[in-house]
Amino acid sequence: MSLTLYYHPLSSFCWKTLIALYEAEIPFEPRLVNLGDPADRAAFQAVWPLAKFPVLRDEGRGQTVPESSIVVEYLAQHFPAAAGLVPADPDLGRQVRLLDRLFDSYIHHPFQGIVSERMRPEGQHDPYGVEAARAKIAEGYGLIAPMIAGPWAMGEAFTLADCAALPALYYADYAVSLDAFPSLRAYLDRLKARPSVARTLAEAEPFFQYFPLKDG
């Protein structure tokens, strides 16, 4: 098989790529990486020295493609079934990329900071940093909510922006509830019902026991 995805089912940024692959029905070989296993980590570092998920390896084109948004861009460029994920129209494409960055920068990244704080050893916690991250997430909700144009982020078309929205909103909801943003709550519910998303979530389900905020 030409495409191999190096990933982990619990990784939020991997979800962005998985949703795109499933949405476009692009065949690939999933390569689950256990970063806690020294041999597995070393093998992954031979593919991508930073050893960060996800990484797509396209043997047919001799390309190694890291970073979730770049992977989706690559799929849109080289696979006709994925072309609609990043519109060819420059203005629409720019709007999709903007939403992708907003979801990542104002919701996804601050949430990951909260998760990292939860995993710190006793005596090294940062309550101030957590509250600042929660405030940034709420700010992100308020910024993005009016920008959702219809059933999906760009209206009728399902795009990279929606692939980015699902992991950001799904996970951040554990730290900052979406209840105060009913339009985003409804949007997340629509996302979770979409087959490509439902499949991604179902594959992650066995690993949720390891998610640090699953207990609230």
| Beta bridge partners of residue 31, listed in sequence order | 6
From the centroid of its chain, how far is CA 32?
A: 16
34 and 109 in one domain? no
Q: Give the range of the structural domain holding residue 9, as residue numbers without chain letter.
A: 3-82
Q: Which of 62, 82, 102 is the last residue of a domain?
A: 82
126 and 74 in one domain? no
Interatomic CA distance for residues 18 and 91, integer angstroms: 26
Q: Given this model, what pLDDT does residue 216 score? A: 43
Read off the tokens for 74: 């690559």
Q: Given this model, what pLDDT does residue 210 score? A: 79
98 and 32 in one domain? no
Per residue of the chain (216 residues), give pLDDT as tens: 599 999 999 999 999 999 999 999 999 999 999 999 999 999 999 999 999 999 999 999 999 999 999 999 999 999 999 999 999 999 999 999 999 999 999 999 999 888 766 655 566 556 666 788 999 999 999 999 999 988 999 999 999 999 999 999 999 999 999 999 999 999 999 999 999 999 999 999 999 887 766 544
Residue 3 dihedral angles phi and psi, to the nearest 5°:
-100, 135
Select from 33, 24, 27, 20 the least CA-distant residue to 1.
27
Q: Given this model, what pLDDT does residue 134 score? A: 92
Select from 49, 167, 183 the least CA-distant residue to 111.
167
Q: Given this model, what pLDDT does residue 183 score? A: 96
105 and 32 in one domain? no
